[in-house]
Chain A
Amino acid sequence: MATITLHDIELEALNGMLAAYRGYVDGSAWRNLCLQCHETGGRLAALWGTDARPEGQGFLVHSVLIFADHWLWLTYSAGNEQASFPDISDIFPAASRPQRAIYDLLGITSGAADTRPWLRHGAWSPTDFPLRHNFDRPIIAPGREDPYPFIAVAGNGVHEIGVGPIHAGTIEPGHFRFYVVGDEILRLEERLGYTHKGIEKRFESFTLPEGTRLAARICADSTVAYAWAYSMAVEALCGCSVPHRAQWLRGLLLERERIANHLGDIGALSNDAGLAFGQTQFALLKEHWLQTNYQIFGHRYLMDTVVPGGVVHDMSHKSRRHIRDECETLEKAVHRLQVILDDHAGLQERFLETGRVTMAQAQALGAVGLVARASGLARDIRAEFPGLPYAALSVHTITRPQGDVAARVAVRFDEIYESLRLIRAILSDLPDGPLVGDCDTDKGTAGLGCVEGWRGEVFVAIERTTLRHAHRVHIHDPSWQNWLLLEHAVIGDLVPDFPLINKSFNLAYSGHDL
């Protein structure tokens, strides 16, 4: 592989769709490059650890940084005994929770002040580290749960409200701790990890192609984004090329997934703000959309449609016509409903200025995806680092400067229209050719994949290992960054507005907890 010198260190250019370089760094370069990235408006894409002691490399900590025109995968050698790495949460606040998770899973310390467990509750003991290669206690009875020290707010009239892990509706499990005076929220602290299923460990028991099914079942509402990001990483690792037709069909599937989720969210937001009509209407539009998915691709949520090397389903002329007609009907229906929602004073009163995240906050906290765009940050992998088919379609990045619930609704509306445009463009220019390319998944050493899912950038890193395990997979959901923003968005808002604000973010639990 080609090596280049960039940022004064020697880097190796990685295969694949992303302009990515990899380098091994010492402690000062580790922090300096993070600082450089932060100062030039870049962001942290992911941060994780691995146990490379079997290969004689000790524990490793990896960070992936996104600069304006390239990606940097930094690997820091954390040592064998008492492994540790330099804290970067002062530069990227979004690094704090991944750093705590690295300790929970591998026992590598970061030197940050916050040493509370993050993914570990009571399922394994503080002296067990499940991602270590010699962790051999596969089944441990659920232990006694240690009390979790929330950072409390004290003062006259301050009241504490705990919610979850089981919520009142059909929602994924997580705990929210509010500190309030009257109805006003002074502080919110999240506690996640309830749905931690040991997914990264589970990947070790599958071959790379088999792992695609697991990747598709980490976070069902983003199954296309996950399967595509995973496949992209596998393809980068083994240097396999994907036929054009497959790339275009992947784009179509991803945009269908985006529209399905946006329709559902706009309906739910309208319901949370007291307009049940919106919920009824948008839920029906979504249902029809899902039924088309089932008819043409065999699954309502498009699971198992993307595989390493390409896609599973082809499209007949009849299906193409069906989708084209459906897009036209949907566009009209959404327009009509948007007018009603925009004109509804009661609804707008709830949406406007609620749950505000300023652009400065979004920038400082490393926001990504839809939430970042609704706070004025033009972050969209499809436009920033376009691979096929997006390079040929030139995606228009939708932003809004306000950063409130209304802005997140507006971004969703405009993204539905933009995705409909993309689907039409894909249908009219769909290249001919095979659906799957050959992938020799036995070769290659490392690969990255990243896809702009409806929620934000879904990131996957795969690294081949020489010994016991064939490879290690790391998955990063955009919710890792955006959960932090939610804590800031609710400050000063009312407790009854929390469900609305939370829904306007609609972050992943299972995708985050792994």
Chain B
Amino acid sequence: MHKLIRRLIATGIVSTPKPPAMELTPEAFESGKALVHRLGRALAVRHVDAGSCNGCELEIHALSNAYYNLEGLGIHFVASPRHADVLMVTGPVSRHMVSALLSAYDALPDPKLVLALGDCAIGNGIFDANYATVGKVSDVIPVHITIPGCPPAPTAILGAFIAITQADLVPSGTV
């Protein structure tokens, strides 16, 4: 046990300063404001993999490491869409995931803020619409925030979360 404690002390605090907030569209901004108004400056996120190659998931995992201090900012991932403020969707939406994605969206409470993460989810990826793939998340459910990247860096994902939680502090368009 002493070795474990020594290692904890030697590691110290490694978290880095939070990245700047990303710019939100007016609609996303209003939804964010409504969320903060109702729930305060904490964010519960439910992630759904709708046919991703697992690249975006690797960065979502990375976001939870001590470096990014996600929970220190009041942001955490939850196990059910019913507990979530934001639904974060990855992948070009394989047709076999459409009904599961719709169920998750139905379970999400208002204002049903949806974040499409990664090039595939926003329709700029390598997969096109075909017999097995819809092509992008916004073809299935309304999307408010898009984060490009293949995969997007953890700081880019964090920047979007921060923008949502700060939507009441700054006027629309300047976040």
Contact = CB atoms under 8 A, between A and B. Distances in A.
Interface in A479-514: 508-510, 513
Interface residues of A, number: 61
Contacts of A300: 59, 62, 153
B79 to A, nearest CB: 4
Nearest to B95: A123
Interface string A378-408: 0000000000000000000000000000000
Contacts of B54: 172, 219-221, 508-510
B9 interface: no
Interface in A187-229: 193-199, 201-202, 205, 213-214, 217-221, 223
Interface residues of B, number: 51
B97 A194 contact: yes
B48 A166 contact: yes
B127 A197 contact: yes
A468 interface: no
Interface in B143-168: 150-151, 153
A230 to B, nearest CB: 13
A86 to B, nearest CB: 29
Given A195-B51, A201-B131, A217 B60 contact: no
B58 interface: yes
Contacts of B8: 277
Interface string A331-355: 0000011011001100000000000
B53 interface: yes
Interface string B49-65: 11111110111111011
Given A197-B92, A197-B132, A336 B66 contact: no
Contacts of A121: 96
A199 B104 CA distance: 26
A303 B150 contact: yes
Contact of B94 (A130, A196, A220): A196
B132 A130 contact: yes
B91 A281 contact: no
A223 B126 CA distance: 14
A171 B128 contact: no
A168 B49 CA distance: 11
B148 to A, nearest CB: 15
Interface in A273-288: 277, 280-281, 283-284, 286-287
Interface in A286-338: 286-287, 290, 300-301, 303, 336-337
17 contacts: A122-B95, A130-B132, A171-B49, A172-B52, A172-B54, A173-B51, A173-B97, A195-B51, A197-B92, A198-B132, A217-B126, A220-B55, A280-B65, A284-B65, A287-B62, A340-B3, A513-B94
Contacts of B91: 195
A139 interface: yes
Contact residues of A: prevailing secondary structure: loop
Contacts of B50: 173
Contact of A337 (B7, B100, B104): B7
Contacts of B65: 280, 283-284, 286-287
Nearest 6 CB-CB pairs, A to B? A220-B55, A123-B95, A198-B132, A283-B65, A168-B79, A195-B51
A168 B131 CA distance: 28
B100 A123 contact: no
Contacts of A171: 49, 57
A2 interface: no
Contacts of A340: 3-4, 7
Contact of B150 (A169, A195, A217): A217
Contacts of B92: 197
Interface of A: 121-124, 128, 130, 135, 137-140, 142, 145, 165-166, 168-173, 193-199, 201-202, 205, 213-214, 217-221, 223, 264, 277, 280-281, 283-284, 286-287, 290, 300-301, 303, 336-337, 339-340, 343-344, 508-510, 513
Contact of A142 (B61, B64, B99): B99
B160 to A, nearest CB: 16
A344 B60 CA distance: 29
Given A201-B130, A336-B7, 20 more contacts: A138-B130, A165-B97, A168-B80, A171-B49, A173-B49, A173-B51, A194-B100, A196-B96, A196-B132, A197-B51, A197-B127, A197-B132, A198-B132, A264-B61, A280-B65, A287-B62, A287-B65, A300-B153, A301-B55, A344-B4
A376 to B, nearest CB: 29
Given A121-B96, A197-B92, A510 B51 contact: yes
A348 B97 CA distance: 37
B126 A214 contact: yes
Interface string B10-29: 01001000000000000000
Contacts of B133: 197-198
A270 to B, nearest CB: 11
Contact of B131 (A139, A284, A336, A343): A139
A130, A198, A219, A221 pick with most chain B CB within 10 angstroms: A198
Given A142-B98, A142-B99, A170-B47, A202 B4 contact: no
B131 A510 contact: no
Contact of A220 (B130, B132, B151): B151
Contact of A166 (B3, B100, B127): B100
